[in-house]
């Protein structure tokens, strides 16, 4: 078999694989059984807030401990970062009235 | 199509395509010494094919890396493409691919500089392609999103087993009898 025929066959096989796998991946965008599941990146909460809702710069205590109650271990939530030009209002701080 | 979705799909497609191109490259290289493809072509044509395959797997491998870097979900940086075991969520699985790339880059560069190198050194560096292929296969097996698809799995396993058998016969028998 001449050299050019070998190369042409190799190009065809590779491009066929490329097109086939592109089509397969397009049809199966998500694979729940995929071995790697990258953690979802944190998204800034402030970007999705409507323009009328004014975020506050600080929040109050998240929960009130009863006497004798141990301090729960909680992971810190996403931090709110105000974009330049966003004004804070004089509203009452956000609080949670329940514990779980 | 959303650009992020395109990057993700392209990364998977170019990963498999570069794997196949590398398989063909290694197969044509092993065939030079084992005469298993003598029915197909003579060594001169196979050598030409072996050299040519570099120009297929390099752009596909580069596209695999670039699309993964651009894909925000994969969380892979350009540094991860060359320094193994740096990715936070799957250092081993992705690091094996990094090692494979590093070795293949060295093998390719030394092949281009072969005339300026000692032949014995060049041969040993070139033989590290087997290690690179092994790490590449493990990278594909442990981190390939589509590896569980029957057709893709069959193609990948067949190519790996074929190269494995040829490599073992090359080591045990040397050049196979015609």
Q: pLDDT digits over B158-167, tens only?
A: 999 999 988 8
Determine which of A44-48, B3-7, B63-67 has the lowest per-residue pLDDT on average.
A44-48
Within 10 Å of residue A39's Cβ, how many Cβ atoms? Answer: 9
Q: Is B108 exposed, middle or buried (0-12, 13-18, 19+ CB in 10 A)?
A: middle
Angle at B8 between CA B7 and CA B12, to 5 degrees: 110
A56-78 pLDDT tens trace:
555 555 555 556 556 666 566 67
Chains A and B form CB pairs within 8 A to the count of 101
Using a CB-CB cut-off of 8 Å, the residues of chain A touching B16 are: 17-18, 21
- pTM for this predicted structure: 0.75
| Cross-chain residue pair B49–A10, CB shorter than 8 Å | yes
Determine the pLDDT at residue B168: 85
Least confident of A16-20, A93-97, B90-94: A93-97
What is the rounded distance in angstroms from the CA atom of residue B89 to the CA atom of residue B87?
Answer: 6
The DSSP letter of residue A1 is: -
Residues 43-72 of B with CB under 8 A from A: 44-46, 48-49, 52-53, 56, 60, 72
């Amino acid at each position: 078999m001449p050299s050019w025929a070998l190369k042409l066959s190799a190009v065809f096989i590779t491009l066929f694989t490329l097109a086939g796998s592109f089509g397969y991946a397009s049809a199966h965008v998500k694979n729940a059984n995929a071995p790697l599941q990258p953690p979802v990146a944190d998204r800034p909460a402030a970007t999705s807030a409507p323009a009328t809702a004014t975020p506050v710069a600080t929040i109050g205590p998240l929960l009130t401990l009863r006497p004798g109650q141990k301090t729960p271990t909680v992971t810190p939530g996403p931090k709110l970062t105000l974009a330049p030009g966003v004004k804070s209002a004089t509203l009452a701080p956000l609080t949670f009235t329940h514990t779980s | 199509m959303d650009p992020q979705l395109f990057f993700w799909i392209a990364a998977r497609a170019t990963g498999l395509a570069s794997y196949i191109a590398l398989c063909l490259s290694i197969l044509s290289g092993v065939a030079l010494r084992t005469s298993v493809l003598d029915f197909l072509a003579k060594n001169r044509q196979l050598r030409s094919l072996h050299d040519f395959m570099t120009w297929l797997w390099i752009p596909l491998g580069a596209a695999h890396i670039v699309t993964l870097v651009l894909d925000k979900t994969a969380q892979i940086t350009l540094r991860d493409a060359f320094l193994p075991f740096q990715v936070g969520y799957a250092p081993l699985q992705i690091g094996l691919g990094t090692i494979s790339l590093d070795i293949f880059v060295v093998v390719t560069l030394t092949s281009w500089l072969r005339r300026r190198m000692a032949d014995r050194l060049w041969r040993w560096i070139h033989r590290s392609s087997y290690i690179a292929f092994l790490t590449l296969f493990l990278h594909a097996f442990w981190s390939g999103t589509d590896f569980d698809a029957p057709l893709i799995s069959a193609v990948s396993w067949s190519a790996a087993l074929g190269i494995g058998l040829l490599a073992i016969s090359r080591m045990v028998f040397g050049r196979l009898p015609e």
